[in-house]
Structure 1
């Protein structure tokens, strides 16, 4: 029923580094007509923030579901939060800003962002910008044989902060309400 594609390429691409996040997993549990999916659900994914000479990062992720998301009455984004997976990271201030945009037919819709990151906090909720039904971000995808949501991520890294050479893995928790 579900096929997640998190795309990660850590090599510099022009003036950015490509990172992938399967944030689109926000709808992974909402693509079934079954009554058991009604309610609140969480999905988890991860991405790597790796130090580079550039101060920006960018990437994308996709989620494919086998059933038409319109088979449910609605899906609402409740929250998105970031957390450093490495316990040695005191806070997320090495990320100056981050933005998530759902893209359909070349049109980007900002769904969440955060700037600046709070000092001393390892778990940081993003500011939810999009408050309507998120099913519209899925489009029919003949290549996958299902319905796919595409999310672009972009942000800026604070190069004055120390980041381990191997990077910092970030955990993303997304919660949705399915009606």
Structure 2
């Protein structure tokens, strides 16, 4: 049975975020499929890693989306809260993230977007930057029943603005995103 379905679409050829890594996605699927009363070891803090590519362009805007699907109903756990989202340049030649002027992550359900995190401006000299959390409630509500995939899906839209005065390698910069969730 397929517990995790991953999809990503690149919009404007500037940002692409694969959903969760297979290992982290399976861990999230397992955590959501086993209620806290079923397995006490699922309760606690869990991290997942994603990535996206920021490519140089003449446009200052970038956008994209990512989705994660699980086969079990997220309401089978008592709760899930976002602890942090952290960005990091995967390329060691990038001194900091100031080539990104701003970034916003929004969870979208039935056309309604909820800002979950963002950052503007990026601090000078920092290669690892935590986003500012904008949403502090239970994230299970962002999973909707997805009959196409036979499970439950969370959809995240990413958008932002680039600083065109900063040099970005022609092949782009891969960004690593670490997401930490507390499962109750």
TM-score in terms of structure 2 length: 0.89
Query: Which residue matches 1:68?
Result: 73
Q: Matches of 1:43 and 1:4 in 2, distance apart? A: 15
Q: Deviation string for 1:50-77 (max 9, x for gaps)?
A: 0011000001000000100000000000
Counterpart among 16, 19, 22 of residue 19 in structure 2 = 22
- Structure 1 residue runs of 4+, over 6 Å off? 23-27
User: Of the candidates 38, 51, 54, which is equivalent to residue 46 of structure 1?
Assistant: 51
Structure 1: gaps spanning 5 or more residues: none
Is the CA contact (8 Å cut-off) linking 2:12 and 2:62 kept in structure 1?
Answer: no
Q: By how many angstroms is 1:20 displaced?
A: 2.8
Q: Distance in 2 between matches of 1:157 and 1:5?
A: 26
Q: In the aligned structure 1, how far is the partner of 2:159 from the partner of 2:50?
A: 16
Residues paired across the two proteins, number: 175
Is this contact kept in 2: 1:23–1:174, CA < 8 A? no
Give 1:5's aligned residue: 6
Matches within 5 A, 1:87-102: 87-102=92-107
In the alignment, the residues of structure 2 paired with residue 28 and residue 70 of structure 1 have an alpha-carbon distance, to the nearest angstrom, of 13
> Cα RMSD over matched residues?
2.0
Where does 1:103-122 land on structure 2 (aligned, <5 Å)? 103-122=108-127
Deviations 1:74-131 (A, max 9, x none): 0000000000000000000000000000000000000000000000000000000000
Inter-CA distance 2–172: structure 2 relative to 1 (3 Å threshold): farther
Q: Distance in 2 between matches of 1:18 and 1:47?
A: 6
Distance in 2 between residues matched to 1:86 and 1:6, nearest whole Å? 24
**3-state SS of 2:140 partner:** helix
In structure 2, the gaps of 5 or more residues are none
Distance in 2, Cα, partners of 1:20 & 1:84: 14
CA contact (8 A) 1:56 1:157 kept: yes
Partner of 1:31 in structure 2? 32
Mapped to 1, the partners of 2:18 and 2:92 lie a distance apart of: 20
Matched, 1:142 2:147: yes
